[in-house]
Amino acid sequence: MFKGAFTALVTPFKNGMVDEEAFRQHVERQIELGIHGLVPCGTTGESATLSHAEHEAVIKMCVEQTRGRVPVIAGAGSNNTAEAISLSRCAKAAGADAVLHITPYYNKPTQEGLYQHFKAIGEAVSLPIIMYNVPGRTGCNLAPETVARIARDVPGVVGIKEATANMTVASNIIEQCGPDFCVLSGDDFTVLPAMSLGAKGVISVTANVVPDKVAALCNAVFAGDYAKARRLHYELEPLNRAMFLETNPVPAKIAMSMLGRMSPELRLPLVPLQPKNEAALRDILTRAGLLG
């Protein structure tokens, strides 16, 4: 169920509010262009600045607009285990197919604390759980041995978004958890190498802009067409770099604005791109044939 290209959706804002019309149009375009799944309310969706009511509303909108055509993995993570359980229950009530749980940030729990965190969520919520390991943001690393322990002991945990960009880590997780465990790349740069090791796909920022190409890369790997997959990998690399000219999701949202898909509005503490990076982004989109 959870394989292929999943878009980490940006959340459009307009005059300080979630722009429902732009969001629904964004979801519809993603599906029309062949995306395999959608992830609302993740890092790229500025979940850290959404109220709980907005968080629940965005997930509900995504589920409603998707109408079961692709799976929806709803962001529900927190550094507070009780809050993570509450957000997961809201996601289930909204109709999400699974929940994405970032490792607790700032608290810096031990590996035992991480194990107990995911065990508590799995015991409280009957919904598939995808863990999310991104130590560059959280200051916390989920070790492959702990991932394997959780996978063995917590039936609800079905996979991980692995965003260390370290192929040794990805390989160790796949080795220790087995081929049925769903490893998804958390970095657009590493989709092809991760999938060549046995990862099932990617949760992608770049797919906000070009869902068809990110999905095509995954489809090429599934078909065993590595020549096509390599071509798409290198074709996508300039766009992948562009999405991280500054902190994600700033470039992705500005790119969507340049393409006329939504307002460039962000919520503090995120701010617009510096002029030189905005010019660089526009140039990359133009070279990719997306502008002009």
Mark out the alpha helices in 33-166 (DSSP H runs): 52-66, 81-94, 111-124, 135-138, 144-153
Task: Read off the pTM.
Answer: 0.96
pLDDT at 215 over 90: yes
Neighbours of 78 (CB within 10 A): 20
Q: Per the structure, how many domains does the chain have?
A: 1
pLDDT at 53 over 80: yes
Joined together, the tokens standing for residue 79 give 């550094």
Considering the domain boundaries, does residue 234 fall inside one?
Answer: no
pLDDT 10s digits, 172-197: 999 999 999 999 999 999 999 999 99
Cα–Cα distance between 161 and 178 in angstroms, integer?
15
Considering the domain boundaries, does residue 9 fall inside one?
Answer: yes
Considering the domain boundaries, does residue 173 fall inside one?
Answer: yes
pLDDT at 1 over 90: no
3-state secondary structure of 13: strand
CATH label of the domain that carries residue 146: 3.20.20.70
pLDDT 10s digits, 105-156: 999 999 999 999 999 999 999 999 999 999 999 999 999 999 999 999 999 9
pLDDT at 95 over 90: yes
Cα–Cα distance between 121 and 86 in angstroms, integer?
9
Considering the domain boundaries, does residue 46 fall inside one?
Answer: yes
Choosing from 92, 132, 200, 253, which is the catalytic residue? 132
Considering the domain boundaries, does residue 270 fall inside one?
Answer: no
Whether 132 sits among the annotated catalytic residues: the reply is: yes
pLDDT 10s digits, 60-79: 999 999 999 999 999 999 99
Mean pLDDT of the chain: 97
Q: Which residues span the domain enclosing 106? A: 4-223
pLDDT 10s digits, 9-46: 999 999 999 999 999 999 999 999 999 999 999 999 99
Q: Where are the beta strands (DSSP E) in the chain?
A: 4-8, 13-14, 17-18, 37-39, 73-75, 98-102, 129-133, 157-162, 182-185, 201-204
Considering the domain boundaries, does residue 132 fall inside one?
Answer: yes
pLDDT at 292 over 90: no
pLDDT at 289 over 80: yes
Whether 161 sits among the annotated catalytic residues: the reply is: yes
3-state secondary structure of 7: strand
Residue 271, pLDDT score: 97
Choosing from 60, 92, 161, 213, which is the catalytic residue? 161
Q: Are 173 and 183 in contact (CB under 8 A)?
A: yes
Cα–Cα distance between 254 and 256 in angstroms, integer?
5
Residue 40, pLDDT score: 98
Residue 31, pLDDT score: 98
Considering the domain boundaries, does residue 235 fall inside one?
Answer: no
